[in-house]
Amino acid sequence: MGSGRVSVVTGASRGLGRGIAIALGAAGDTVYVTGRSKDAPTGNWPGTIHETAAAIDAAGGRGIAVACDHLDDAQTKAVFERIEAEQGRLHVLVNNAFAMQDFSALPGNFWERGLEEWQQQIDVGLRSSYVASVYGIPLLIKAGKGLIVNTSSVGARAHLHPLPYGLSKIGQDKLAADMAPDLAPHNIAALSFWHGLVKTDRTLLGLEHFPQMFEGIGGYAGAESPGFGGRIIDALWRDADLMRLTGGTFYTSELALHYGLKDEGDHQPISFRQFFGAPLFEKAI
């Protein structure tokens, strides 16, 4: 039996977005998944939006693949116009679309590498979250209750990866914080998630080839599955006092402890608070 929820996860052909989308499908959602990987994978990693949609179906939900290049605002707008035409409302928006190099930065100082990293992580990442929110919020209002989750990381505080990475992540946190006051009268919560190490294809290959990069933060033992955040989103939705959290940034591991959730294999991912400290826009859970 379906949950009655309609969700959209941007950038869901692979990795974290794919995992969240499948977990929401397992909870019974109708999930719209967006991305550029329509008929074949883009870049160096496997996965397409149609494969994710099929996995959502197999998990018990209903997956709907919508090809979208989030650099094109018209394509993003068309996604939400389709949702409105087919569903008339939206309950959960997960802003996850993002792009970056395989592990960290290209060689050289940031000013020597050109502007590609900015386009990938600010335009595809942060700006696309803003645009998706602008087009998605009217549908969340129609539903009478809504939840927006921006996928972020400790890169909002720590210097990780290329320079634009951190700007994008702190921007995701600030976006949730500043959307919250306008959305509160409409019973829509906006949150940002600080995921820990996530067992995506990219991260698992990194752990294999560059284990020293992860030794100080728990390595594989502290990592979370790509679907972990989706289960947390489901728990948040079921929380009758969800609005107390709106505008906040949260470690996924700590939200899971609050809601009594464990990851696959009865695993409890560790909090990175001990390594990176508190988010700037943190709220008490």
As a three-state string, the secondary structure of 31-97 is EEEEECCCCCCCCCCCCCHHHHHHHHHHHCCEEEEEECCCCCHHHHHHHHHHHHHHCCCCCEEEECC
Q: What are phi and psi of 90, to 5 degrees?
A: -145, 140
165 is catalytic: yes
Strand order in the sheet with 249-251: 62-67, 30-35, 6-9, 92-95, 146-153, 188-195, 249-251
Residue 6 pairs with which residues in a beta bridge?
Answer: 30
Candidate list 32, 135, 165, 251, residue with the active-site label: 165
34-43, 174-183, 213-222: least confident range: 213-222
Q: What percent of the chain has pLDDT over 90?
A: 66
41-55, 185-199, 204-218, 245-259: least confident range: 204-218
Mean pLDDT of all residues belonging to the chain: 88
Angle at 261 between CA 281 and CA 246, to 5 degrees: 25
Tell me the CA end-to-end span of the chain in Å, nearest whole number: 30
Say what the pLDDT of residue 201 is: 59
**How far apart are alpha carbons 148 and 175 in whole angstroms?**
11
Chain segment 134-143, per-residue pLDDT in tens: 999 999 999 9
| Residue ranges of domains in the chain, CATH in brackets | 6-276 (3.40.50.720)
Chain segment 264-284, per-residue pLDDT in tens: 889 898 898 988 999 999 999
- Greater confidence (115 vs 59) lies with 59
Nearest to 39 by CA among 27, 24, 23, 50: 50
User: pTM of the prediction?
Assistant: 0.91
Chain segment 197-249, per-residue pLDDT in tens: 766 656 555 555 555 555 555 555 668 888 999 999 999 999 999 999 999 99
